Amino acid sequence: MSEALLQVRNLKKHFPIRKGVMRRISGQVRAVDGVSFEVGAGETFGLVGESGCGKSTAGRSILRLIEPTAGQILFGGKDIRKLRKGQMRLMRREMQIVFQDPYASLNPRYTVRQILEEPMIIHSLFRSPAERQKRVAELLETVGLSASRMDRYPHEFSGGQRQRIGIARALAVDPKLIIADEPVSALDVSVQSQVLNLLDDLQKQLNLSYVFIAHDLSVVKHISDRIGVMYLGQIVELGESDQLYENPLHPYTQALLSAVPIPDPEARRERIILQGDLPSPANPPKGCYFHPRCKDCMEVCRTQAPEWKEVKPGRFVACHLYD
């Protein structure tokens, strides 16, 4: 792995719970509770986990769309949490986001041209209208859409095409890093692969880094170089994508992977069914957050939180089984 472009260290986002007339803070939802990972230039880092585990909150905290509670976010060595408003605005040219829902992520009152011109106007990138139009056409071609349709409104496009427009918008400022927040989970399976391939091609062409957030393991495996598995606001296992899939260490990862369907009717395999629901992040279990649902739960898991340690080079896990 080359020099890390993005380093996230012990990122936390706690949402206060307010109660009563005086709106006193009565508790904290620990949506993201100490997440650390690195993304190198040109690398794709996958972040997986079930709904509500905090992966989207983590992604948005990195961009400061949600202000993180604690931790460091180093981009090119600079802690973006320390940036002032104006500096942060400049930094936004470096890191962009692609959203899950292509129906909510495009302003319905803007034409595609206006949507793609907006980032250029904000950052004064291409000043003359002719230059901007050329750039809009270029961006549309890059994501595989016809430039002749730039004066149409988002509702005139299909879900997959809208997602391409969303990607084009993110590319408009020439970012180095794109946070892809479940970019294909709202799309049909047939369209999913097209969009994934587009992301892949763009990465090669533009040397982009991705933080790819998803709950679909096969999608993540397909696109990611390394993967972090999140559970209840924490990363429980992190490693090279192939290794992690072949030899999952954490019981939660094992359970997740056993749920991936194998496209072979003859294949036999044991499914690990997780018992119970995701516990509330406002009131997480003592000890290891995963212990109430863990098939290998030991005495120590109930009382002590496991340490985050490197069991093999590049392979991290937080589990007492590997103490």
According to CB under 8 A, which one of 12, 13, 30, 60 is a site residue for another protein? 60
According to CB under 8 A, which one of 1, 17, 25, 65 is a site residue for another protein? 65
CB nearer to another protein: pick between 126 and 153: 153
Spatial distance between the Cα atoms of 89 and 35, rounded to a whole number of angstroms? 24
According to CB under 8 A, which one of 37, 99, 231, 289 is a site residue for another protein? 99
Select from 240, 221, 263 the least CA-distant residue to 317: 240
Q: How far is the CB of 156 from another protein (least distance, A)?
A: 9
Q: Rule CB under 8 A: is residue 75 a binding residue for another protein?
A: no
Stretch that binds another protein, among 58-66, 128-136, 241-249, 251-259 (CB under 8 A): 58-66
Pairing, β 95-98 against β 177-181: parallel
Q: Rule CB under 8 A: is residue 305 a binding residue for another protein?
A: no
Q: List the x/- string, 12-51, binding to another protein by CB under 8 A.
A: ----------------------------------------
Q: How far is the CB of 124 from another protein (least distance, A)?
A: 11
Q: How many residues bind another protein (CB under 8 A)?
A: 28
Q: Rule CB under 8 A: is residue 54 a binding residue for another protein?
A: no
According to CB under 8 A, which one of 72, 74, 83, 93 is a site residue for another protein? 93
According to CB under 8 A, which one of 101, 174, 216, 240 is a site residue for another protein? 101
- Please list, in sequence order, all residues whose beta carbon lies within 8 angstroms of the beta carbon of residue 90, skipping any fewer than 6 positions away: none
- Given a contact cutoff of 8 angstroms between Cβ atoms, the answer to whether 100 and 183 are in contact is yes
Spatial distance between the Cα atoms of 252 and 40, rounded to a whole number of angstroms? 26
According to CB under 8 A, which one of 44, 57, 61, 105 is a site residue for another protein? 105
CB nearer to another protein: pick between 96 and 209: 96
Find the DSSP H helices in the chain: 55-62, 85-91, 112-122, 129-142, 159-171, 189-206, 217-223, 241-246, 251-258, 299-303
- Write out the binding residues for another protein, residues 108-127 only, by CB under 8 A: 108-109, 118-119, 122-123
27's tokens: 């508790």
Our CA angle for 104, 277, 283, nearest 5°, is: 90
Stretch that binds another protein, among 107-115, 213-221, 279-287, 300-308 (CB under 8 A): 107-115
C-alpha distances (whole Å) from 22 to each of 25, 26, 29 are: 9, 11, 19
- Write out the binding residues for another protein, residues 159-178 only, by CB under 8 A: 166, 169, 173
Q: List the x/- string, 202-241, binding to another protein by CB under 8 A.
A: ----------------------------------------
Q: Rule CB under 8 A: is residue 97 a binding residue for another protein?
A: yes
- Given a contact cutoff of 8 angstroms between Cβ atoms, the answer to whether 6 and 13 are in contact is no
Q: How far is the CB of 96 from another protein (least distance, A)?
A: 6
Q: How far is the CB of 186 from another protein (least distance, A)?
A: 11
Spatial distance between the Cα atoms of 202 and 208, rounded to a whole number of angstroms? 7
DSSP string covering 166-215, please?
Answer: HHHHHHTT--SEEEEESTTTTS-HHHHHHHHHHHHHHHHHHT-EEEEEES
Spatial distance between the Cα atoms of 279 and 165, rounded to a whole number of angstroms? 37
The dihedral sign for the CA sequence 186, 116, 121, 135:
positive
**Which residues contact another protein (rule: CB under 8 A)?**
60, 63, 65, 88-90, 92-93, 96-97, 99-101, 104-109, 118-119, 122-123, 153, 155, 166, 169, 173
